[in-house]
C-alpha cells in the first residue's frame, strides 16, 4: 500500500541503475583481480623477464657464456684461490679438528677485486671500503638494464624496484669486524651493511620504487623474485631489478659449514647420486629485469620468458632447525601451480634445489613426485636437474642462477645435462616415481608450443619458494624493440619508407672504455645476429645511456657496420672530446620550398616528424589549414605553398 504523500518512485529505473552499478563493480573487481593475478589465461598475462646478466664460475660472465658452460656439461669446480686466505693454514682432512675445514674446493669467479669506480661516480677510497658483493651487483645490474634495452639514465625517479638476496658479509672481517676499531671509518660502515646492498643500486641509478635486501639463506634470491612479481602485479612497481650475489672472501663461514658436515669433501655437488656427501660452495651474481607482460608487449621489449606464478611458505616444525620438510615443499609447489592456473602434468622440467645432501635429495624428489606426479606415466616423466652440479651452491644467489639456467633452456629448447650422476641414490625409489634425470643434452619437446618449468629454492632458514616459468608465447617471443622506421604511416597512409642507412651509436666515459665497447660489438657482429640491423641500432641508441666519448657508425648492413668498427679499432688515435665536431642544420627561407619537401625525412625520421607535427598543430588555428596537407598531399603545385 503506497502513501499518497510520498513522491512517485520509479522502482524500475532504480533497479536498472542498481544492476548497472553491480555490473560496474563486478568489472572493477575483475580488473583488480586481473591486475593482481595478471589474468594468467590471457595472452598478455604474467610477469615478463626482459633482460638478464650474470657472473658465474667457469668464466660464465654473461648469459651466452653461461649457456655454453651448461650446453657442454662443464663442471667449474676448482681449488680455493690462494688470494682468498691461507688455504693450508685452515685445512685439515679430519672434520673434528677445531678451527679447520676439511675441503679445499669450491666454485669461484675471477676479478672480484676489480671495479670501475669512476663509472659509478665513486671515489677510489670509498670503493676500497665497499663490500665487493655490492660492487659486483652495481655492475651486473647496470648490464642487465642495458641488455633489457632500458636506459639507466631514463629510469631516474621511476617506480623501479630493487629486490636483492644476500646472505653473507665476509668482507666485514677486514674492517668493521676486524677487532681493530681503527680500521672502521664512514665508508667501511656503510660499505659492509647488508641493507645498503640494495639501497646503493637504487641510489646510484636514482630509482624510487620499493627497495629491499632479503636473507632467508639459500632461498633469498628466489624470494626476491617472488616479492618483485607481487610488487609488479599490484602496480607498486613498474619495473624491477631482481637477483642475488655470493662471494666467499673469508674462511670462517666455510669452517662453520664443515662443522655442520654440509660440504662435500671434493667440493662437487653430486645431486641425486649415491655418493652425495654435501654441496660445494659457489660464487656468483645474477640479475634479471622484470616488467608486467602487458607493458612489455606494448613497449616492444624483448621477452625472454614469462613468470606464470610463484609461492612461498616455511617448513615450520621439522626434524631439526635446518632439516627439510617434504610436506611443506609439496605444498609450496601446489600453491605455485594454483597461482599459475596450471595442472601438474603441464610442468615438464623442474630446476631443483638439489644440493646433493644425503637427507635433502630423497625428501625433495619424493615431494616433487607427490606434487607433480599425479596422472603421469613413466613415458611422461618429469625431468629434474640442478645447476649446482655445474657451478656449485651459490647460497644467496642460488635461486637466480637456477632461474637464468631455465630461461636459457627455454630459449634454446634444450635441457642441459645434469652432472655427477653415476649411481642413483638408493634412498630414492626411482622405479616407482615418474621422474627422470637428463644425463645428456635433451631436446625440450613442447605441448602446443608451450613449455613450463618449475624452479625451487629451499632455504636453510626453512623458507621455501617455488616459481613457475613459461617460454614466451610464440606470437611475442621474438618481440624486438621498435626499429628506427617506427612502423609509422605517411600522410597518404602508405607504407613507411625504410631508411637507406642506419646509425649505430656507441658511447663510454673514457676513450679506452669506448674502444673496449667497440671491440665487444665487433665480436658480436662477426657472426651476423638473427635480427634486423635496424633493431640493433635502435637498441644501442635508445636503450643505453649516453656519455661523453662517442662513436657513430652509419651503415646499411651488418657487414658494412662490422667493417667500419674494424677501421675504427685499427686507428690507433683515440677519440677525445676536443675532436668532436659540432653539427648544424640549415633550412633556407622563402622561395626554395616545393611540394613534398622533406617528405622522405618526415616518413623515416621520428624526431623530424614529431617536430613538424608539433609546429603544424601550433600554426593550424592561425592559418586555418594543416601545413602537412599543403606540403605532402597535393599532386601539383599550389599557389598557397608560395604565400
The catalytic residue positions are 218, 353, 393
Contact 91, 255 (CB under 8 A): no
Say what angle helices 558-570 and 511-526 make with each other, to 10 degrees. 140
* CA distances from residue 570 to 251, 504, 519, 553 in whole angstroms, order as listed: 47, 18, 11, 15
Measure the CA–CA gap between 629 and 491, rounded to whole angstroms.
8
Number of Cα atoms under 13 Å in the Cβ half of residue 515: 13
Answer positive or negative: Cα dihedral of 365, 368, 370, 373. Answer: negative
Measure the CA–CA gap between 437 and 425, rounded to whole angstroms.
12
Measure the CA–CA gap between 557 and 196, rounded to whole angstroms.
45
DSSP β-ladder status, 549-555 and 284-292: unpaired
Measure the CA–CA gap between 570 and 583, rounded to whole angstroms.
26
Least Cα distance to 315 among 367, 256, 271, 387 occurs for 367
DSSP H helices in 471-582: 511-526, 533-542, 558-570
**Phi, psi (rounded to 5 degrees) for 228:** -65, -40
Strand partners, 495: 489
> How many C-beta atoms lie closer than 10 Å to residue 221's C-beta?
35
Q: What angle is formed at CA 391 by the lines to CA 360 and CA 138, rounded to 5 degrees?
A: 115
Written as nine digits, the cell of 236 is 607498486
Measure the CA–CA gap between 292 and 38, rounded to whole angstroms.
8
- Indicate the DSSP class of residue 239: E
Written as nine digits, the cell of 624 is 586555418
424 torsion bin: left (phi>0), alpha (psi -120 to 50), beta (else): beta
395 torsion bin: left (phi>0), alpha (psi -120 to 50), beta (else): left
- Indicate the DSSP class of residue 279: B
Written as nine digits, the cell of 570 is 685499427
Q: DSSP readout, 579-642?
A: GPPP-------TT---TTTTHHHHHH-HHHHHHHHHHHHHHHHHHSS-HHHHHHS-SS--GGGG
Measure the CA–CA gap between 472 and 633, rounded to whole angstroms.
42
Say what angle helices 360-372 and 326-340 make with each other, to 10 degrees. 40
Amino acid at each position: 500500500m503506497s502513501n499518497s504523500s510520498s513522491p512517485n518512485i520509479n522502482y524500475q529505473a532504480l533497479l536498472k541503475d542498481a544492476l548497472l552499478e553491480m555490473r560496474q563493480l563486478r568489472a572493477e573487481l575483475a580488473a583488480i583481480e586481473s591486475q593482481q593475478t595478471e589474468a594468467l589465461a590471457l595472452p598478455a598475462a604474467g610477469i615478463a623477464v626482459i633482460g638478464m646478466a650474470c657472473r658465474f664460475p667457469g668464466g660464465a660472465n654473461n648469459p651466452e657464456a653461461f649457456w655454453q658452460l651448461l650446453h657442454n656439461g662443464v663442471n667449474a669446480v676448482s681449488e680455493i684461490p690462494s688470494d682468498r686466505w691461507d688455504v693450508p693454514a685452515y685445512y685439515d682432512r679430519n672434520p673434528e679438528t677445531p678451527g679447520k675445514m676439511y675441503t679445499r674446493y669450491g666454485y669461484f669467479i675471477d676479478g672480484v677485486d676489480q671495479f670501475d669506480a669512476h663509472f659509478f661516480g665513486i671515489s677510489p677510497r670509498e670503493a676500497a671500503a665497499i663490500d665487493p658483493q655490492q660492487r659486483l651487483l652495481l655492475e651486473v645490474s647496470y648490464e642487465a638494464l642495458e641488455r633489457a634495452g632500458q636506459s639507466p639514465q631514463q629510469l631516474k625517479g621511476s617506480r623501479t624496484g630493487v629486490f636483492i638476496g644476500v646472505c653473507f658479509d665476509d668482507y666485514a672481517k677486514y674492517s668493521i669486524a676486524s677487532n681493530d676499531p681503527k680500521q672502521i671509518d664512514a665508508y667501511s660502515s656503510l660499505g659492509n651493511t647488508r641493507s645498503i646492498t640494495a639501497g646503493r643500486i637504487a641510489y646510484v641509478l636514482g630509482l624510487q620504487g620499493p627497495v629491499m635486501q632479503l636473507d632467508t639463506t639459500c632461498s633469498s634470491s628466489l624470494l626476491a623474485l617472488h616479492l618483485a612479481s607481487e610488487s609488479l602485479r599490484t602496480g607498486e612497481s613498474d619495473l624491477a631489478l631482481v637477483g642475488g650475489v655470493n662471494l666467499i672472501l673469508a674462511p670462517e663461514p666455510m669452517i662453520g659449514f664443515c662443522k655442520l658436515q654440509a660440504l662435500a669433501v671434493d667440493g662437487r655437488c653430486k645431486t641425486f647420486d649415491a655418493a652425495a656427501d654435501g654441496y660445494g660452495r659457489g660464487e656468483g651474481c645474477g640479475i634479471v629485469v622484470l616488467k608486467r607482460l602487458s607493458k612489455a608487449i606494448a613497449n616492444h621489449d624483448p621477452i625472454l620468458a614469462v613468470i606464470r606464478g610463484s609461492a612461498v611458505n616455511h617448513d615450520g616444525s621439522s626434524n631439526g632447525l635446518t632439516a627439510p620438510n617434504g610436506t611443506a615443499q609439496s605444498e609450496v609447489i601446489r600453491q605455485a601451480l594454483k597461482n599459475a592456473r596450471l595442472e601438474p602434468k603441464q610442468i615438464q622440467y623442474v630446476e631443483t634445489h638439489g644440493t646433493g645432501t644425503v637427507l635433502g635429495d630423497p625428501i625433495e624428489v619424493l615431494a616433487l613426485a607427490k606434487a607433480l606426479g599425479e596422472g603421469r606415466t613413466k613415458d611422461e616423466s618429469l625431468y629434474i636437474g640442478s645447476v649446482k652440479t655445474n657451478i656449485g651452491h651459490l647460497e644467496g644467489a642460488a635461486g637466480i642462477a637456477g632461474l637464468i639456467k631455465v630461461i636459457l633452456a627455454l630459449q634454446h629448447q634444450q635441457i642441459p645435462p645434469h652432472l655427477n650422476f653415476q649411481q642413483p641414490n638408493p634412498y630414492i625409489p626411482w622405479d616407482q616415481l615418474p621422474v627422470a634425470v637428463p644425463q645428456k643434452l635433451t631436446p625440450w619437446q613442447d605441448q602446443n608450443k608451450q613449455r613450463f618449468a618449475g624452479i625451487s629454492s629451499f632455504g636453510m632458514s626453512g623458507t621455501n619458494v617455488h616459481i613457475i616459468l613459461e617460454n614466451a608465447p610464440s606470437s611475442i617471443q621474438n618481440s624486438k624493440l621498435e626499429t628506427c622506421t617506427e612502423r609509422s604511416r605517411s600522410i597518404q597512409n602508405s607504407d613507411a619508407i625504410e631508411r637507406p642507412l642506419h646509425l649505430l651509436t656507441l658511447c663510454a666515459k673514457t676513450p679506452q672504455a669506448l674502444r673496449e665497447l667497440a671491440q665487444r660489438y665487433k665480436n658480436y657482429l662477426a657472426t651476423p645476429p638473427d635480427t634486423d640491423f635496424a633493431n640493433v641500432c635502435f637498441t644501442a641508441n635508445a636503450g643505453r645511456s649516453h656519455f661523453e666519448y662517442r662513436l657513430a657508425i652509419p651503415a646499411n648492413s651488418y657487414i658494412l657496420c662490422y667493417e667500419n668498427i674494424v677501421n675504427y679499432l685499427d686507428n690507433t688515435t683515440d677519440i677525445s672530446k676536443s675532436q668532436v665536431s659540432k653539427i648544424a642544420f640549415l633550412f633556407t627561407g622563402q622561395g626554395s620550398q616545393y611540394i613534398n619537401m622533406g617528405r622522405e625525412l618526415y616518413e623515416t625520421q621520428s624526431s623530424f616528424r614529431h617536430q613538424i607535427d608539433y609546429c603544424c598543430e601550433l600554426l593550424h588555428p592561425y592559418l586555418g589549414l594543416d601545413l602537412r596537407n599543403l606540403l605532402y598531399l597535393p599532386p601539383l603545385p599550389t599557389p598557397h605553398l608560395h604565400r
